[in-house]
Amino acid sequence: MSFLKIKDPKKRDLIVEEFLKTKKDIQDSFITEILGDIGAQRELSKFFKPVTDTQKDIKESLVKEIKPITEGIGQLPAAITLPQLPTIAEALEEEDEDEEEGVMRVGKIAHQYLSDYAAKQNVDKTFGIYKNPRDKQYYIGNTPIDIRENNLVVGDKEYEGTPGLWELIISKKPDISIYSHNDLDNYAQIMVETNALKQNNNPTEVTPKSSRGWKWKNILRNIWREKSKYEGQGFPSTIVIPSDPNALAERLELLLASKAAGNTGVRNELVSICDELLRQKIMNKKQYKNLMLNI
């Protein structure tokens, strides 16, 4: 609107005066509204001050509590590896009272080989472990067996469950690098005492349960030929040897001195120690062969 187009001076002055008054009223109203908001905020702050102060105190208290925890987390390694839980079939310290009947709790070595047996992966089905359908009991030959941790209980005799012994019992073609001479002796004793080499596992049978398999040709046929060596002798006592190479070397020296003095009852332990030193590659094959010829 242009006030210059109003020719009447009085009318023009009146309109300008009204315009300025309206403008001032608007400005005053705006200022009053702002001041009112500020006043209201002040009133609200006074009203809620006890609450906000309390919240501030709680926040500071929580920060003090959390700070040591966050600092501790910051000191943890970047990756934490949790120990694996044992599988169901492995030995448990605490077993449920309502444990399913017939479920064996075994150690890691036995679990490994029994898993292969259950999966029928290159396992010995002729001379090895089998389940009797009549009593649901596991057998070798005509003798019931049980498993305690890794140890193998055949009849009323208990064997130390070494990887080598389990390899010989379960595998269709045992790995020669796993079993020792002592394992082979123990395995031969089990085969003879349980009649597992005889037809139908019959103790009165005079013919062997021979086969065309690798195991019979390379291991079991020799055991059958020398079965009289094991018959009626019962199970030999288990020889427990240390795994530390320094301890093995010291024990070997003592046993060799004992044998040189005329003690003939140390041969089995000497063989076991030499087997272990060979397995750990502390002793080479030439040294092993020379020792075997002299003990």
pLDDT for 82: 35
How far CA 218 is from CA of 11, 101, 155, 162, in Å, comes to: 133, 38, 27, 21
Quick one: pLDDT at residue 103? 54
pLDDT in tens, 189-244: 999 999 999 998 888 888 888 778 899 989 998 899 888 877 755 444 456 667 78
Residues pairing with 153 in the sheet: 146, 158
Closest CA to 277 of 264, 261, 289: 289
Its pTM surpasses 0.85: no
HSE-up of residue 104 (Cα within 13 Å, Cβ side): 19
CA dist 220 and 233 (Å) reads: 19
As given in the structure block, the two tokens for residue 200 are 């139908």
Q: Dump pLDDT digits (tens) for 126-174.
A: 999 998 888 888 899 999 898 988 898 887 788 889 999 999 999 999 9
Enumerate the domain spans of the chain: 1-47, 108-229, 245-294
pLDDT tens digit sequence for 249-260: 888 888 888 778
